Structure 1
Amino acid sequence: MDEENSNSPQERFRMVALLYEATIIAVVLCMLYHIHRRRCCRYPLLSDYPFLGMLPHLLFNMHRLHDYSTEVLKQHGGTGEFLGPWFTRMNCLFTIEPINVHHVLSKSFHNYVKGPVFREIFQAFGDGIFTADSHLWKYNRDLFHSLFKNSCFDNFLEKTIQNKVHNTLLSLLDQLLVQGTFVDLQDLFNRFTFDNICCIVLGHDPNCLSIDFPHVEIEKAFNQTEESIFYRHMMPKGLWKLQKWLQIGQEKKMTEACKTLDQFIHACIASKREKLSKCNKSEMGEAHFDLLTALMREEKEHDDTFLRDAVFNLFVAGRDTITSALTWFFWLVATNPSVEAQILEEIKEKLGSDQKSWLGVEQVKKLVYLHGAICEALRLYPPIPFQRKLAKEADILPSGHHVNARTMILFSLYGMGRCEEIWGKDCLEFKPERWISEKGGIVYVPSYKFIAFNAGPRTCLGKDLSFIQIKIVAAAILRNYCVKVVEGYVATPSLSIVLLMKDGLKVKITKRNF
């Protein structure tokens, strides 16, 4: 009898009505929450989809993410809020305004940190200088600053770069020239910088840059790690965490890449410890002043975890960023013949016409126009295209935008390089002249406007070292070879934390009559 009553038309109607009411309540609550979110969002950049927030806009424009975000920010005066899906913590304040950048990175430096979420996303970096905050960051910075300012390191760095450029890079280009084949210049620079950073940090040359273009697993592992970190930025935390737990997709690749990196770095540390234990300090002179050796010889003994994190961070700082800068520089020069002509004229005037002479620090310091061209390339295509900070306490930015505690702030360095308010109406043009004064010197631009090397207390320690490397490589190649981009090639930024070219840079190399 009870079973008959439960299946009666009246009972079924009552159940359907209850389900209908529950659905209506759920929809109303979701709408109210959506309205509340929109009211709380005082400076929206894009229309907000229910549940998904502004994420669909981002996904639809992922193929042109940097240009798209720049366009949106310009439409909203340079600053605005991005809302992620309601169940995530992807909300942030996005800006390209120099006054805000100066405030966050300099004036209120102690209120804006990397934060725990950043360290979780950049897990592969460990507790190195790029992810550390507070006392740990200061210790790392002071340590590296003392190493970089050592005269022995300056001499070691110059000799290392000179040897790699003149004995390997130019020799390889000569062989490729004879073969008459197309060259992926980005791959060439990737290999060059990998060998170079291995020599500088580990005191070991893996000879990745050779005519047979060997597959180097560790070099590919670095690329994969950076790509996976980029996707962690674009995905809700819960989703990439689930992928990591299931070991699928980008997270599986990330795990495998990190395993390869850790095995390589720890093997290098063990080998270096053994080598150092067999010789005294006097035997390891200026010619062996690699950074790992220097770190191990510090008064404070560092454990393997500290050394591993230090090595990883130094690799990223001195490898991919230089590759990015060189690749975009050569693409811009090759597509702007008038700039190339002026660079060559300056090289001939300041350094002479001897193409075989070795280039050093003092020689390339004379190349002012080349310096301006490199700055232009870094302005338009900064190696690190965006940066993020976390507000510890509530604040008001100089632009008038309110920042709540625990709010994430994103800077688009790529967008800042294309901002008319900073660079003028010709901001999209490649003009090295904008960096040269009437007296022929380098024009100073505040770091919060030209932010390729960061700004404030976290300004890049390797800025001068980077310019030296880029100038030596650029001058050596340009005075010896003509670089022509393959016809029809379109330069597309890759989706990674470092701004590389998606499909490499295919060029034809011919000998230059200088």
Structure 2
Amino acid sequence: MLFSVELLVTGFLVILALILFLSTASDRRGSKRYPIIGHALELIRNKDRRVEWTTELLQASPSATVAVRLLDRQRILTADPAAVQHILKTKFDNYPKGEDSRAILFDMLGDGIFNADGASWKLQRQVSSHEFNTKSLRHFVNHVVDAEVSDRLIPTLSAAAASGGVLDLQDILQRFAFDNVCKIAFGYDPEYLLPSLPEAEFPIAFEDATVISTYRFISMFPLIWKVKKVLNIGSEKRLKEAVGLIRDFAKGVVMEKKAELEKRSALDSVDLLSRFLSSGHSDEEFVRDIVISFILAGRDTTSAALTWFFWLISEHPEVEGKICQEIGEKSENLMFEDVKNMAYTHAALCESMRLYPPVPMDTKIAEDDDVLPDGTKVKKGTRITYHPYAMGRLERIWGPDWAEFKPERWLKKSEEESDGEKWVFVARDPYSYPVFQAGPRVCLGKEMAFLQMKRVVAGILSNFKVVPAVEEGFKPVYVSFMTAKMKGGFPVKFESREK
């Protein structure tokens, strides 16, 4: 039914354009803007390459900021670091998630931290921040991640190497990240990355809910999904079913933790969920939403980043060689300090996320009228989106070699080393590289994510060479929902590496 309705609407727009012989306002960015309907036809034509299309608009814009009009609504896109700083820091209070975005994502995320503003967001951030101190990070690397790598990841990949079988690395990394986030955040082990690679309803439901919620967000005709929700048909029916499974899973995790806390007043390791429950915030729906938000953050972002990282190093063996050299200089049993000081690997991960950020775009709503640093006027209620994917592809930020995968752009030689061979990582301005957001809402789990990713990279590359099992000339497709994915997964073979 949705397809037929959308087809009718699309047909109407096309016919309208033909009948009226609409003169196009083909701006200097090459995007065709029509009277009345604005960029609607262009968006329809580029619906499967939305991220790339908007990137092209921003690359061609002298100010790296553009206004896209869809029927009666205007949306602003920006890849200008000054505008990003303005939105995420200078005028932070004027650019919340907004009630519109909150309503769209509420069925899946509820009042979780990624869908909250104001007091609720501040509370969740304050309690969550305790999970990311040095003591917690050290425990995370030395126990949780190390055990998952040694006891599950490496044996699974070793079996594939021995049999010559092909695995979907994207799926493996999602399983790994899911186990990790559940262990560290909830003290719960879902055992998703077992040698049998068990099928589970939850990950499938989570994927469905993510995709459908994203289509809600980018829909030109929100009335369609709202009517479908009322009638409980099509994609909205599937979303309701998926969300039901997700909430049942989260509710089970919460109930199990409550029972554990009742039996033991002091836990050996205080996880995030225990902190919320022990601080008096025991409302079942509120805590359930927190669980769902942290699964989204921990499962999908790091797995997406690592999937594209392994693709890029398979295309750049010289980078892989330098990473392997760095790994070889560390102790055989990598601990917190070893992982933390892997400067070249850290740079390669940053470079990978510059080109393929786990979250390519993020949207805020203007609470009041405003003016961006370049003079762009923003009316109250306007959606404004900053675009990390496009920012990673701007010559004005990264230079004429922006298209190259070049970890060295993040490094300098140490002045303390007499031979000058020691690499030192040099961070970029977070408003030019907002992959982890910036300002008051900067990602709390940034350091934890890097530690986890570097430990995974070291574990895999010290044991195997990752070989894409694809046809010659294959180019992966970047698809974006709430987080990015490699379309169709990433089939690979693992070749055992000589120690």
The two structures share one fold, judged by TM-score above 0.5: yes
Q: CA deviation at 1:104?
A: 0.9
Measure, in 2, the Cα distance between the counterparts of 1:60 and 1:253. Answer: 26
Distance of 2:274 and 2:138 partners within structure 1: 15
Could you say if the C-alpha distance between residues 293 and 430 of structure 1 is closer, same or farther in structure 2, counting changes exceeding 3 Å? same
Match of 1:161 in 2: 145
Q: Is the 8 A contact 1:153 1:290 kept in 2?
A: no
The 3-state SS of whatever aligns with 1:500 is strand
Cα distance in 2 for residues equivalent to 1:436 and 1:119: 39
- Name the structure 2 match of 1:365: 340
In 1, Cα distance between equivalents of 2:141 and 2:258: 22
The equivalent of 1:374 in structure 2 is 349
1:82 aligns with 2:61: no
Distance 1:238 1:44, change over 3 A: farther
Note the 1:174-323 alignment, pairs <5 A: 174-235=158-219, 236-281=221-266, 284-286=267-269, 289-298=270-279, 300-323=280-303
Aligned counterpart, 2:119: 135
1:27-58 Cα deviation digits (max 9, x unpaired): 9xx99xx99xx9xx999983333553312212
Amino acid at match of 1:178: A
Residues 128 and 487 (structure 1), Cα distance of their counterparts in 2 relative to 1, 3 Å cut: closer
Q: What percentage of residue pairs aligned between the two structures are identical?
A: 36
CA displacement 1:163-198 (0-9 Å, x = unmatched): 001111001111111111111100110111111112
Shift of residue 154, structure 1, vs aligned partner: 4.2
In structure 2, distance between residues paired with 1:45 and 1:103: 27
Q: Distance in 1 between matches of 2:137 and 2:404?
A: 37
Paired with 1:294 and 1:157, the residues of 2 have a C-alpha distance of: 20
Amino acid at match of 1:497: M
Matching residue within 363, 368, 381 for 1:393: 368
Q: Is the 8 A contact 1:148 1:154 kept in 2?
A: no
| Match among 382, 386, 403 for residue 411 of structure 1 | 386
1:228-258 CA-partner distances (Å, limit 9, x unpaired): 1221122121111122223333322211110
- In the other structure, the counterpart of 1:60 is 45
Which whole-Å deviations, capped at 9, do the CAs of 1:67-119 have from their partners, x for residues lacking one? 22111221222111111134xx4x21111111111111111111111100110
Distance 1:97 1:112 in 2: 16
SS of 1:494's partner is: strand
User: 1:230, 1:469 → 2: CA distance?
Assistant: 27
2:192 partner SS: coil
Q: How many residues align?
A: 468
Query: Shift of residue 121 of structure 1?
Result: 1.5
Letter in 2 for 1:431: K
CA distance in 1, matches of 2:282, 2:480: 35
Paired residue secondary structure (1:83) = strand
Aligned-pair RMSD on alpha carbons?
Answer: 2.3
Name the SS for the 2:494 alignment partner. Answer: strand
Aligned residue for 2:76, secondary structure, equals strand
Matched residue SS, 1:388: strand
For the structure 1 residues 188 and 388, does the alpha-carbon distance in structure 2 shift closer, same or farther, using more than 3 Å as the test?
A: same
Taking the aligned partners of 1:156 and 1:483, their CA distance within structure 2 comes to 26
Counterpart Cα distance in 2 of 1:336 and 1:251: 43
CA contact (8 A) 2:57 2:66 kept: no
After the TM superposition, which segments of 4 or more aligned residues of structure 1 sit over 4 Å from their partners? 41-45
Is residue 78 of structure 2 the alignment partner of residue 95 of structure 1?
A: yes
On the 8 A contact 2:40/2:70 being kept in 1, the answer is: yes
Distance 1:160 1:112, change over 3 A: same
Separation in 1, partners of 2:314, 2:234: 37
Contact 2:393–2:402, Cα closer than 8 Å, also in 1: yes
- Bigger Rg over Cα: 1
Find the aligned partners of 1:164 and 1:387 in 2 and give their Cα distance.
31
Whether the 8 Å contact between 1:45 and 1:81 is mirrored in structure 2 is: no
Please report the TM-score for the alignment, with normalisation by the length of structure 2: 0.89
The answer on 1:351 being equivalent to 2:330 is: yes
The worse-fitting range, judged by mean Cα deviation, of 136-145 and 59-68 is 59-68
Please state whether the residue corresponding to 1:92 is helix, strand or coil: strand
Partner secondary structure for residue 483 of structure 1: strand
User: Contact 2:395/2:402 (CA < 8 Å) preserved in 1?
Assistant: yes
2:97, 2:116 within 8 Å by CA — same for their partners in 1? yes
Is the Cα contact below 8 Å between 1:44 and 1:82 reproduced in 2? Answer: no
TM-score normalised according to structure 1 size: 0.87
8 Å CA contact retained: 1:495, 1:502: no
Query: Do structure 1's residue 336 and structure 2's residue 316 form an aligned pair?
Result: yes
3-state DSSP of counterpart to 1:242: helix
Is the Cα–Cα contact under 8 Å of residues 179 and 190 in structure 2 kept in the other structure? yes
